[in-house]
Every structure is written in structure tokens, then in C-alpha cells.
């Protein structure tokens, strides 16, 4: 064997070995990045679900609690869609806050009781696909919310003015 051929063979083996190590490192890096992307997207999805559920729970609970001392709270189905009505008297005028699902959103509408407004007159609050209210007892209101991803959340709110709460007003 010729000595220069031996050096070339060693040099070629060194290059192939180095390239193989580099390729292994690159493939390992890509696999690690793909796993990281998958974990990140799962975490973001989970955070979105939790945010939606927590925002709904906090919103509904706070709306009911802020008006629960001397207000009348009832469920109304007269306009073709279910709405939670919270009435209150301000300067001898009766006002109502309506919470309802319309066109895939939770809406809130605040107006005088004597004024009839269309459902789209309200303020969009949260996207959702279904909203149901039910009085479990005279002092316990249930609000069931299904978000756009199909996640079901049920909130129970204890009413302090139980004698005012009824579903047949």
C-alpha cells in the first residue's frame, strides 16, 4: 500500500465520522425542538381552556353578587332565548341587566325595563356555544356554559336574597 492512500483513507474516515456526529446532533436538535413545540402548544391550549372557564365563572359570579342584596334575580324565556335578568331600582326607575347567549357569545344588556331592545344591542362578553341558567333551589342558581371547544363548565352561585329568586316571573 502506498502511504498517501492510507492518509487519504484516514482523512476520509475522519470527515465521515465528523459529518455523522454533526448529523446526529442536528437530528437530535430537531427532535428536541419538535417535542418542545408540541408541549408548548398543549400548554397554550390548556391555558386557553382555563382562562375561558375562569373568566366565565368570575364574570357570572360577580354580576350576581354585586346585585344580590336588594335585587330581583330571575330567568326569562319570553324572547325566544334564555336570559338571566337582574333588576334593580335606581332613582325610582327599574333597570334590568340581562345575561344571555346570542350568536355564539355571552352578552350583557343593561337598560330600563320599559325599553325593549334587540338581543344584538347588548355587549359581547365571551365566546361560547351554549348557556343555561337554572334555579337548583330558591337560594342556589346554576349557570352552565359550554365554550367553543366543547368544554363544559357549571357554576353554582348562592343567592343572599333567596326570597326574590324565582324562575316563573
Give the model confidence (pLDDT) of 67-120 as tens digits.
776 668 889 888 788 999 998 888 989 999 999 999 999 999 999 988 888 888
Tens of pLDDT along 24-37? 999 999 999 999 99
Q: What is the pLDDT of residues 40-67, one digit of tens each?
A: 999 988 887 778 788 888 999 898 888 7
- According to the 3-state scheme, what is the secondary structure of the chain? CCHHHHHHHHHHHHHHHHHHHHHHHHHHHHHHHHHHHHHHHHHHHHHHHHHHHHHHHHHHHHHHHHCCCCCEEEEECCCCCCEEEEEEEECCEEEEEEEEEECCEEEEEEEECCCCCCHHHCEEEEECCEEEEEEEECCEEEEEEECCCCCEEEEEEECCCHHHCECCC
Amino acid at each position: 500500500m502506498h502511504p498517501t492512500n492510507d492518509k487519504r483513507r484516514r482523512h476520509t474516515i475522519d470527515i465521515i465520522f465528523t459529518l455523522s456526529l454533526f448529523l446526529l446532533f442536528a437530528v437530535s436538535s430537531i427532535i428536541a425542538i419538535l417535542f418542545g413545540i408540541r408541549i408548548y402548544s398543549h400548554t397554550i391550549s390548556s391555558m386557553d381552556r382555563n382562562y375561558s372557564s375562569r373568566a366565565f365563572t368570575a364574570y357570572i359570579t360577580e354580576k350576581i353578587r354585586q346585585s344580590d342584596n336588594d335585587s330581583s334575580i330571575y330567568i326569562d324565556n319570553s324572547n325566544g332565548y334564555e336570559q338571566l335578568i337582574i333588576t334593580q331600582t335606581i332613582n325610582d326607575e327599574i333597570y334590568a341587566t340581562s345575561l344571555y347567549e346570542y350568536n355564539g357569545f355571552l352578552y350583557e344588556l343593561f337598560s330600563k325595563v320599559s325599553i325593549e331592545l334587540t338581543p344584538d344591542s347588548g355587549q359581547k362578553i365571551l365566546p361560547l356555544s351554549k348557556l343555561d341558567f337554572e334555579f337548583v333551589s330558591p337560594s342556589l342558581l346554576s349557570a352552565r356554559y359550554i365554550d367553543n371547544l366543547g368544554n363544559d363548565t357549571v357554576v353554582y352561585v348562592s343567592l343572599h336574597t333567596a326570597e326574590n329568586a324565582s324562575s316563573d316571573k
